[in-house]
């Protein structure tokens, strides 16, 4: 038989209600905690940090050629080598998000970002932004992650520039390229696309000992 407290309420019913409320609260907190963990993981994960591989279904060469084509087209049509290189990579590479904020952030980096042209080629800088976006350190309370992988990849691009132009400086590159900036942007996008595919696509893991398309076609320029 149910007992009554001094205020006339049923203790048994009150106890049951409290148990249900506590249980619901606990479940709710558990679900919220799980959701927060998922959100944090989603915010902190990058392809590089997880060694994630993306299946591009044998389209590697198509993607590389598309990166060149778009880079050449965008620079010729719109100008702005940093933004055009970044946009070409965003549009050609399936696993690189077309982040509008990142694109806008490259606005002042073309032409060596100075009146003298004595700083880095804007196409090199725009490509570096794409690399960093994929595998760079993330911003949170502790600046989570490392810059090791992004540095490794940008140095691969530097070697391509060094071998082709002898420098990454805007003035030197323009002189060597005979001021053909659409071609500079196209090649920067092409080289970077190959580097990113080697690092993040499944074909690299399956063909680790195969010669790189970049090595085989290094001297072959797109039409």
Q: Which residues contact 98 (CB under 8 A, 6 or more apart)?
A: 87, 90, 91
Most confident among 54-58, 113-117, 127-131, 147-151 (mean pLDDT): 127-131
Cβ pair 196, 153 in contact under 8 A: yes
Give the pLDDT confidence score for residue 221 in this predicted structure: 45
d(CA 94, CA 56): 8
Model confidence pLDDT, tens digit, residues 140-151: 878 888 889 999
pLDDT at 191 over 60: yes
Mean pLDDT confidence for 151-166: 96
Tell me the pTM: 0.67
- Residue 207 CA, distance from chain mean position: 23
37, 40, 42, 47: CA torsion to nearest 10? -120
d(CA 4, CA 9): 6
Instruction: Kindly state the tokens that stand for 21.
Output: 């409320």
Domain ranges in the chain?
Answer: 1-44, 57-216
């Amino acid at each position: 038989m149910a007992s009554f407290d001094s205020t006339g309420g049923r203790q048994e019913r009150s106890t049951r209600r409290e148990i249900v409320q506590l249980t619901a609260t606990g479940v709710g907190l558990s679900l919220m905690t799980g959701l927060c963990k998922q959100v944090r993981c989603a915010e902190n994960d990058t392809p590089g940090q997880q060694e994630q591989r993306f299946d591009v279904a044998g389209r590697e060469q198509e993607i590389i050629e598309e990166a060149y084509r778009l880079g050449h087209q965008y620079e010729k049509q719109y100008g702005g080598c940093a933004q055009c290189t970044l946009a070409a990579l965003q549009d050609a590479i399936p696993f690189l998000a077309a982040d509008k904020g990142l694109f806008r952030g490259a606005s002042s980096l073309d032409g060596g970002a100075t009146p003298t042209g004595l700083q880095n080629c804007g196409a090199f800088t725009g490509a570096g932004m794409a690399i960093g976006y994929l595998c760079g350190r993330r911003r949170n309370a502790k600046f989570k992650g490392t810059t090791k992988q992004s540095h490794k990849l940008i140095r691969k691009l530097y070697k391509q520039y060094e071998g082709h132009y002898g420098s990454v400086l805007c003035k030197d590159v323009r002189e060597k390229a005979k001021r053909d900036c659409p071609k500079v942007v196209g090649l920067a996008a092409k080289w970077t696309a190959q580097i990113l595919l080697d690092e993040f696509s499944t074909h690299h893991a399956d063909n680790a000992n195969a010669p790189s398309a970049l090595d085989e076609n290094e001297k072959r320029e797109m039409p």
